[in-house]
Amino acid sequence: MKSKTYISKQRIYKSLGFVLCFMALFNCKDTPKKPEAPNILFISIDDLRPELKAFGKSHIISPNIDKLAAEGTAFKNAYCNVPVCGASRASLLTGIYPTPTRYIDYKTRVDEEAPGVVTLPKYFKNNGYYTTAIGKIFHHPDDGTKGWTKETYRPDYPNTNAQQELWRDYQSPENSWTKELELPLGGAGPAWEAGQVHDTIYYDGKTTKLALKELEELAELKQPFFFGVGYIRPHLPFNAPKKYWDLYNPEDIELADNHYIPKDAPRDAWFNFPELRSYNNIANDSIPIPLDQARKLRHGYYACVSFIDAQVGMVIDKLKELNLYDNTIIVLWGDHGWNLGEHSLWTKMSCFKNALQSALIIKSPKIKGGMVTKALASYVDIYPTVTEMAGLDRPQHLVGKSLVPVLKNPESEVNSYVFARWQNAETIKNNRYAYTQYYNKSGIVKDSMLYDHQKDPDENINRAYDPKHNGMIKELKKELEIHLYDRKQ
């Protein structure tokens, strides 16, 4: 009798154990998705403006990104939410807007400014994905770490904030002193370098090497993966192997034809681009960048984009080699745009189109590729788009819209307006106009600018004070106010 009771208890425990295991298996938090769930390759390219063939420009050589675009959808009107690395990435990766007190600058930390918000990689991890990244996805290597199944890694250096000081990665002998000094963030050696070195010597080449190795390991998994690959260039300094500089004839490089502040633009629209000024071969005052330097900077930017294009090609080729390509969604995004001398400005950090508009290409194995869309896309839309493409439920906290309808039909539109902000400026954009309000310290609008992208795509005439546009300004002001109010909720 006694032993019978013992056996039956054992059986009960066994059965209970079985039930618990069964429940654990089917708990979405711990259960791998079915093998057919798509992988995600999430490629971030720092400071990449949409100056590529896919977006209608032909002067930068980027055959690999062109090839990706030929099989995906290029968004010609994709806007970041805030034009600086850390803040833009934080907003994209959490799917919420920046505000005057959240996601302000490059120092932004998701862990501190949006604690408890499930980041994009964390959401995939919670849904059975294996998540990891090589290179720069979050701005800080030690931010958002709970989102990764496997600790993310950046090339060659200890995986700490100290490497924030090392990513400039000068290689030419004459710049070797830069490695020996504790360079302050934002300041450094020269603004460009053409090293006579193999791709794998520079930081981003090392990133590729690690990414290819990681892909081989990911290919062995029984669960789908979310894999981030984050490239630093074309972020300053424009350090790239010489062979990519040699793709361009310096004499053929055209300068911006609008190197002046737009007519009637607000004083606040101008800034002295301290990021570029801090490089030691750039004058640290407020004089315009001399033409020979402007040409060199453009040349360096183009070389860096071509360098990264080659890296992207290697990663995608590896996906194909591992038979992963046909079951992998690829999202390629720049974290914001860049001024290359237009309006006499350089770098990001402004509310002109050149700083806000960025490169976004999405390729799904299930959706017809080779599409270009003019539909307005905001970077808060990326999170809900990727989750929907992967067949996951939409997280409640997201503010953006899924772009899947646009992927299926490039003529369709999901946004009537998109929004961005920088310091004391708030911008709203519809399918024709961009309107920005500048605020004083009391929160009162002190100035504004309106650009008609149909008549004036380069934003050379501020029409905010032209009475002909009063109706449009009224509409945009109202929608902006609604956005600012909703954003607080």
Which chain residues interact with Ca ion by CB under 5 A? 46-47, 85, 335
Q: 21 CB contacts (<8 Å, ≥6 apart)?
A: none
Kindly give the interhelix angle for 382-389 and 85-94, rounded to the nearest 10 degrees: 40
Instruction: Take residue 219 and report the two structure tokens written for it.
Output: 């290919």
Nearer to Ca ion, 325 or 338 (CB): 338
Closest approach of Ca ion to the CB of residue 89, in Å: 8
Nearer to Ca ion, 85 or 449 (CB): 85
Kindly name the residue from 80, 85, 304, 351 that is annotated as catalytic: 85
- Annotation marks residue 139 as catalytic: yes
Closest approach of Ca ion to the CB of residue 236, in Å: 10
Q: 361 CB contacts (<8 Å, ≥6 apart)?
A: 54, 65, 68, 69, 72, 73, 74, 75, 330, 331, 332, 333
**Phi, psi for 279 (deg, rounded to 5):** -80, 145
- Annotation marks residue 351 as catalytic: no
Q: What is the CA radius of gyration of the chain?
A: 24
Nearer to Ca ion, 46 or 199 (CB): 46
Instruction: Round to whole Å and give the CA distance between 409 and 389.
Output: 14
CB 226 within 8 A of CB 131: yes
Closest approach of Ca ion to the CB of residue 356, in Å: 12
**Phi, psi for 299 (deg, rounded to 5):** -60, -45
DSSP structure class, residue 289: P
Nearer to Ca ion, 129 or 338 (CB): 338
Closest approach of Ca ion to the CB of residue 264, in Å: 30
CA-based end-to-end distance of the chain? 65
Closest approach of Ca ion to the CB of residue 307, in Å: 16
Comparing every residue's Cβ against Ca ion, the nearest one is: 85
Kindly name the residue from 80, 139, 235, 299 that is annotated as catalytic: 139
Closest approach of Ca ion to the CB of residue 462, in Å: 26
Distance, C-alpha 467 to centroid of its chain: 37
Q: 16 CB contacts (<8 Å, ≥6 apart)?
A: none
CB 400 within 8 A of CB 414: no
CB 426 within 8 A of CB 397: no
Nearer to Ca ion, 47 or 71 (CB): 47
Nearest CA among 201, 224, 232 for reference residue 134: 232
Instruction: Round to whole Å and give the CA distance between 209 and 217.
Output: 13
Instruction: Take residue 355 and report the two structure tokens written for it.
Output: 């700083």
Instruction: Round to whole Å and give the CA distance between 449 and 438.
Output: 9
Nearer to Ca ion, 279 or 433 (CB): 279
Report the catalytic residues.
85, 139
